A and B are shown apart, each in its own frame.
Chain A
Amino acid sequence: MSAVLQNLVNQPYKHGFVTDIESDVAAKGLNEDTIRMISAKKNEPEWLLEFRLKSYRAWLKMEEPKWPNVHYPKIDFQTISYYAAPKQKPKLKSMDEVDPELLRTFEKLGVPLHERMALAGVAVDVIFDSVSVATTYKHKLAEVGVIFCSMSEAVLEHPELVKKYLGTVVPTGDNYYAALNSAVFTDGSFCFIPKGVKCPMDLSTYFRINTEESGQFERTLIIAEEGASVSYLEGCTAPAFSTNQLHAAVVELVALDNADIKYSTVQNWYAGDENGVGGIYNFVTKRGLCRGVNSRISWTQVETGSAITWKYPSVVLLGDNSVGEFYSVAVTNNYQQADTGTKMIHIGKNTRSTIVAKGISAGRSNNSYRGLVRIAPTAAGARNYSQCDSMLIGDRSSANTFPYIQVRNNSARVEHEASTSKIGEDQLFYFAQRGVDAEAAVSMIINGFCKDVFQQLPMEFAVEATKLLGFKLEGSVG
């Protein structure tokens, strides 16, 4: 492999700084007392503590999944701190009360909480380690009945909604990491779009892990009632530590009749250094339930960070004529490992799903697509279209595709297409012979490869994603 390509794929991580801020960090270790402590810190009602303890007891009996195509040393859950929060006043009335150091941190990350976001017209919830530090535009959203706040706040102020929906899409004992999350989750975002309301602006959450040896376990719940619609964006970064940090989130989406939820993620957690030291272990359960007829849930993800990514944003298509979509770009470099994909579970009649997954592997990384399409006997007329494309950069990376297709209804139609390509020396020479250097050439090839996914992203995010791939895969040449 040429030096040019090597340079191109080795770029420093830009979000690797640590904010020096006084934090309230819980002692390491996990037991029932830890869980009671978290619950008490958040003034939670008794039912939620019970939810946590039940999950914890289930988790103790479970085993870490062995089937993903990723390799890492066994995680010692007793060496992790399960709660870290910047010390500040418990309740903030306005943005001006936020610790200026925190504001500076988010400015540095390109997440302005003030003017620029206001201009962009996006409401933002910001999660720093274990707690939500700010939510913008709350009042404007409240005028149309939209609730957008941190999960902690929702538990206190809208307990009936949280109780009604929490754990209905991802049950407490769903899988090892979901059970762990259900036991120790600290914060996350809560969105509720009432009947018939089209959310007037995009909602966005920005996640930041700051404390070393802490885990981030956020819990997000989005509910769109009958005829409601919302577009939700999620971004993530973390400082560069030489130790690995655990991120085990759960995201649940519920769409009732004719509701529409679009969920977009740009994940850029710290990926470890070029030798594979450090980085986030990203074990995430994301699932949407199309509960009502004609409902639609669409996942778009651009996964560039994390040492290990284990993530399958899924849709359960329960309502007749409901639609599930999954658009994904996963980029791995150096020693990163990604095992990501989706599950489309067709239960209702005439349900439809689309999967477009693009994997790019560079360095010595390993990138796997894993996807399940299940057509239940009840899903007459169901249709699925899947397309999985892999691109290899250099000759030391690998890509795998693991499609699982289970069809139990004769009237269903399932299509699967896959391809593998490589950015070759010949392509770069062709560009060079037309005056274009390798950096610009790789950028154009990658953007062409990811086009079908990028066009699903909201405008601001598409720009960010394109830039991020640039940071990730381009570098100084010559």
Chain B
Amino acid sequence: MMNRDSKTLLEVRGLCASVNAIEILKGFDLTVKSGEVHALMGPNGSGKSTFAKVLAGHAAYEITGGTVVFEGRNLFELAPEERARAGVFLAFQYPIEIPGVANSQFLRLTYNTVQAQRGKDELDPLEFDDFVREKMKLLEMNPDFLDRSVNEGFSGGEKKRNEILQMALLEPRLAILDETDSGLDIDALRVVANGVNQLATKDNAIVLVTHYQRLLNYIVPDFVHVMEAGRIIKTGGKELALELETRGYDWVGAEHKAAARVTA
């Protein structure tokens, strides 16, 4: 997907963030250009999901240092809803249930809000119904999803499809998929991955946060990053994920420490 016309979408430098006064991100650097797919891997607690939530602006996380520039703007000057309207999308690891609110209403509200922000036409309920049903085919979703309350009583796989459906509707510039593969059986994984692949263009970028290599069989990354203790300690191509699958994470950490001793 890399091409010479690609623009820098996201520039993260020295990002430090803490939750409940415990520092999770400790000098995190990452550059993402349009047309790229990045995989962010690493053991539990290394800070992958924290990074995703910090980008989206979750109030529980305090930024203690560093900068994040998204398309030339300081991301931290934008409220969470402004970041979303500007094109930052987070597919939640645990999508939130909203009882009593029909999925169709919710989807239309989010779609129209973002459309209005971009100076584009909003859709009335009938127009939106046609539009969203078309998008749902991409994810092989049953139309009865529209009448159910948002994520309420959805299976794990249904919730994840609903997240990717929202990505399809909102057409973000930067999509961060936080463990979208967890809780999916192999068929659902293929459908969701196929949907994501169809949404990837030369103008947007995707960051996959994942534990496992298996998602990367379907969505092939340009870069694989390994996180440990709040920062990226190794970056490679898609073959790095395969190596991690067979060897685990420990050797990356050991190699990183050894390299640190040499430079010190």
Contact = CB atoms under 8 A, between A and B. Distances in A.
Contacts of B109: 436, 440, 444
Nearest to B53: A429
B65 to A, nearest CB: 23
Interface string A417-431: 000010001110111
Contacts of A431: 81, 110
B56 A433 contact: yes
A435 interface: yes
Most buried by B among A425, A436, A445, A449: A436
B125 interface: no
Contact of A436 (B58, B102, B110): B110
Interface string B97-114: 011111001100110011
B230 interface: no
B98 A430 contact: yes
Contact of B59 (A2, A449, A451): A2
Contacts of A432: 57, 79-81, 84
A426 B93 CA distance: 13
B84 to A, nearest CB: 4
B96 A448 contact: no
Given A436-B110, A436-B113, A440-B109, A430 B96 contact: yes
A contacts with B: majority SS: helix
Interface residues of B, number: 30
Interface in B41-70: 56-59
A174 interface: no
By CB atoms of chain B within 10 A, which of A432, A433, A440 has the most? A433
Contacts of B95: 430
A426 B109 CA distance: 18
Nearest to A438: B81
A448 B80 contact: no
A90 interface: no
Contact of B96 (A427, A436, A451): A427
Contacts of A65: none
A448 B149 contact: yes
The 9 closest A-B pairs by CB, nearest first: A448-B100, A434-B110, A448-B101, A432-B80, A430-B96, A435-B84, A432-B81, A435-B114, A435-B85
Given A435-B84, A435-B113, A478 B79 contact: yes
A440 B84 CA distance: 15
Contacts of B197: none
Contacts of B80: 429, 432-433
Contacts of A430: 92, 95-96, 98
B96 A444 contact: no
Contacts of A440: 109, 113
Nearest to A436: B113
